[in-house]
Chains A and B, each alone.
Chain A
Amino acid sequence: MRLLYFAWLRQKTGIGEEEIAPPPEVATVGALLDWLERRGPGFADALADRAAIRVAVNQDYARESDPVKPGDEVALFPPVTGG
């Protein structure tokens, strides 16, 4: 699974992009966020406020109940502010 982090999520986690292999029970966006949050203080801090985070799976917006699987591209970022 390819993970991408943007804006302040990249700064807080210290990661722009990584390959991860979460355990098989991590099958939804919500479970993935829970799993990531336990990886260390930077992640716990970055993911503390779930309402402030948007998730895209394979470049489409996703909800916490949506599925994730090996091979997916998952991106985490704050609400967008372009335009």
Chain B
Amino acid sequence: MIRVQAEDFDLGREMAALTAGNHRIGGLCVFVGLVRDMASGEGIAAMTLEHYPGMTEKMLAKIEAEAKDRWPLEASLIIHRYGRLEPGDQIVLVATASPHREAAFEACHFLIDWLKTQAPFWKLEDKGSGAAWVEARDSDDAAVQRWRKEAPIKDR
């Protein structure tokens, strides 16, 4: 399931809804991204997330389908926020549920790595020295490369 929204989300409520009534689920892995108060040694007052409505949903659905193809998932959820966020605010949630913990862990890790390099979101940081667009990091690309090399574990 994919949601792109300005509103905050309630982790407990989302997890309860995701797993409700499905007793094949043995492991639920969740990643939540938060806004940090520092970037490159400089304080951040707020950040604004811009996205490309339409393509965002399309790419997130594609990423989720890829994860479901690679791992035996019972349920998955991606929530990504946009708009103005402040330090401590939740930005993104990725959750994966599977009969087995390994699949849940790996699929969750895969989804957040993939999302960071493929989903059309851009961060504008409001720093003491003015507003600046966050530059893409090579380490994020390297994180995705790792998943290209590894074989799917669906049949393990």
CB distance from A3 to the nearest CB of B (A): 13
Q: Does A35 interact with chain B (Cβ within 8 Å)?
A: no
Q: Does B116 interact with chain A (Cβ within 8 Å)?
A: yes
Q: Complex: how many Å from CA A7 to CA B125?
A: 12
Given A6-B52, A7-B122, A77-B52, A82 and B92 touching (CB < 8 A)?
Answer: yes
Over the window 51-70 of chain B, the binary record of Cβ atoms lying under 8 Å from chain A Cβ atoms (1 yes, 0 no) is 11011001100000000000
Contact A77 B33 (CB under 8 A): no
B contacts with A, residue count (CB < 8 A): 28
Contacts of B137 in A (CB 8 A): 81
Among B16-24, B101-109, B128-136, B148-156, the stretch in contact with A: B128-136
Which 7 residue pairs across A and B have the least CB separation, nearest first?
A: A82-B121, A79-B136, A83-B116, A59-B55, A7-B122, A81-B134, A81-B123
Given A7-B133, A78-B133, A83 and B54 touching (CB < 8 A)?
Answer: no
Given A7-B124, A8-B133, A59-B58, A82 and B52 touching (CB < 8 A)?
Answer: no
Q: Does A32 interact with chain B (Cβ within 8 Å)?
A: no
Q: Does A46 interact with chain B (Cβ within 8 Å)?
A: no
Contacts of B95 in A (CB 8 A): none
Contacts of A7 in B (CB 8 A): 50, 122, 124, 133
Contacts of B50 in A (CB 8 A): 6-7
Number of chain A interface residues as a range: 10 to 19
A-side residues, CB < 8 A to B, are 4, 6-8, 56, 59-61, 75, 77-83
Q: Does B119 interact with chain A (Cβ within 8 Å)?
A: yes
Contact B55 A75 (CB under 8 A): yes
Contact of B119 among A60, A78, A83 (CB under 8 A): A83
In the complex, the chain B residue whose C-beta lies closest to that of A77 is B120
Contacts of A79 in B (CB 8 A): 117, 135-136
Contact B124 A80 (CB under 8 A): no
CB distance from A35 to the nearest CB of B (A): 22
Contact B112 A78 (CB under 8 A): no
In the complex, the chain B residue whose C-beta lies closest to that of A73 is B54
Q: Complex: how many Å from CA A8 to CA B54?
A: 20
CB distance from A44 to the nearest CB of B (A): 19
Q: Complex: how many Å from CA A13 to CA B120?
A: 19
